[in-house]
């Protein structure tokens, strides 16, 4: 006859979530990925939020004709590719360059504030998009 031992059941029901939590906390790279995504979020708020809504808790920023980051990562199958190459996609080349690139000629309209990124910033922004996609 099998009668479940309540103490054993309790111990098991606690052990599994605990083990999962410990594993998640010690998974190599988990912490680093999270830091990268956080940096991507900060960069997005700083550089992208004047056009895009970049986070679910920032609905009042951005301009409505520009797709939100949440829409982009949900609606597009190739969102990862698009985030990795956004800097080459219109309209971004008009206001963005990388550190070390030649300065723009002064023919730029003065109304567009220029954004200067580093290449590794794109990696952080993709990590942030990845986190948004998972939410
Ligand atoms: C000056 C306004 C503006 C800023 C600033 C801006 N974007 Fe955009 N972005 C747009 C518009 C408008 C579109 C939609 C373009 C279209 O549909 O053709 C877009 C589209 C995109 C897309 C989809 C591209 C595609 O081809 O589908 C990505 C990804 C993106 N932006 C990422 C970013 C990131 C990351 C930043 C900040 C580093 C940023 N954007 C800053 C205006 C902006």
Instruction: Choose one of 73, 86, 116 to mutate for the ligand 1 pocket test, by most ligand atoms within 8 angstroms of C-beta.
Output: 86
Q: Is 131 in the pocket of ligand 1 (CB under 6 A)?
A: no
Of the candidates 36, 95, 40, the one whose C-alpha atom is nearest the C-alpha of residue 66 is 95
Hunting for tokens 């990124």 — which residue is that?
117
- Average of pLDDT values for 101-111? 71
pLDDT for 2 equals 54
d(CA 17, CA 4): 20
Spatial neighbors of 113 by CB under 8 A, at least 6 apart, are 50, 95
pLDDT for 62 equals 82
User: Picking from 24-28, 74-78, 116-120, which range would have the lowest pLDDT averaged per residue?
Assistant: 24-28
Q: Is 41 in the pocket of ligand 1 (CB under 6 A)?
A: no
Of the candidates 9, 2, 37, 43, the one whose C-alpha atom is nearest the C-alpha of residue 135 is 37
The residue with greater pLDDT, 29 or 23, is: 29
DSSP 98: E
Q: How far is CA 79 from CA 15, 31, 129, in A?
A: 38, 23, 8
d(CA 30, CA 64): 34
Atom of ligand 1 nearest to the CA of 72: 23
């Amino acid at each position: 006859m099998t009668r479940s031992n309540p103490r054993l059941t309790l111990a098991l029901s606690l052990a599994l979530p605990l083990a999962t939590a410990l594993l998640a906390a010690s998974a190599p790279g988990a912490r680093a990925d999270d830091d990268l995504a956080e940096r991507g979020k900060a960069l997005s708020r700083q550089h992208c939020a004047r056009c895009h809504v970049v986070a679910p808790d920032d609905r009042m920023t951005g301009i409505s004709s520009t797709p939100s980051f949440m829409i982009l990562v949900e609606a597009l199958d190739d969102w990862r590719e698009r985030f990795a190459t956004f800097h080459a996609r219109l309209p971004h080349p008009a206001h963005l360059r990388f550190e070390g690139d030649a300065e723009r000629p002064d023919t730029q309209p003065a109304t567009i504030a220029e954004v200067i990124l580093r290449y590794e910033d794109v990696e952080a922004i993709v990590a942030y998009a990845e986190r948004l996609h998972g939410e």
